[in-house]
Amino acid sequence: MFPFIRYATQQPHTNQHRLLVIPGTGCPGEGAKSGKPCAHHDTHRRMNEFWVGMGCFWGAEKLFWETPGVTDTQVGYAGGRTSNPSYRAVCSGSTGHAEVVRVRFDPQVTSLEDLVVLALENHDPTQGNRQGADIGTQYRSVFFLPTSDDAATVERILDAYGKQLAQHGYGPITAQVVLMDQAGTGFWAAEDYHQRYLEKNPGGYCPHHGTGVCYVR
């Protein structure tokens, strides 16, 4: 039902290969570049996850790692045609990948809904293939979800927020909602120097493109 949801402006890629995942860990296997290792905070509690693109992934990752209930973050590339893409290739716009943050969270502390709302309030989901001065398909607004139930949750929030944005003069939401197992070649961890970039470079580039419109539940 959710191969590529109606907010999508591009057709889905047909390549169904995904990043190798080591059974029982959820961590990238040998096919991925080595990003920051996945953190296993409590092997007895199941952590949920999703992937979000909202412009430059440096500031987006910081937003989430500072959020209570988020147990691990990792920046990377998703939704494109190529395997093991480099930052340079993604920035060229030739790969179809978006810059995304993989967000792993404890559902006993926070929820997918709360984190999706956080993302929406901290970028402009009506700008299409850009966020501010960052222009290109790699900066598109997109949510990659592991299940159709999660996709339906995001759809519902986008429907409501789109109406609220319209009341403030914004155009239609262009954010995409995609099931991760139908997202081109899947998710690939970005190079090490991108992981927690603003922790390593506190004065680094960290644009904020929020609309200023708070989501009303």
* Cα pseudo-dihedral 154, 156, 160, 162, rounded to 10: 60
CA distances from 19 to 152, 176, 183 (A): 24, 20, 11
Residue 84, phi-psi category: left (phi > 0), alpha (psi -120 to 50), beta (remainder): left
Would residue 38 show up in a list of annotated catalytic residues for this protein?
no
Catalytic residue among 56, 91, 206, 214: 56
Q: Which residues are catalytic?
A: 56
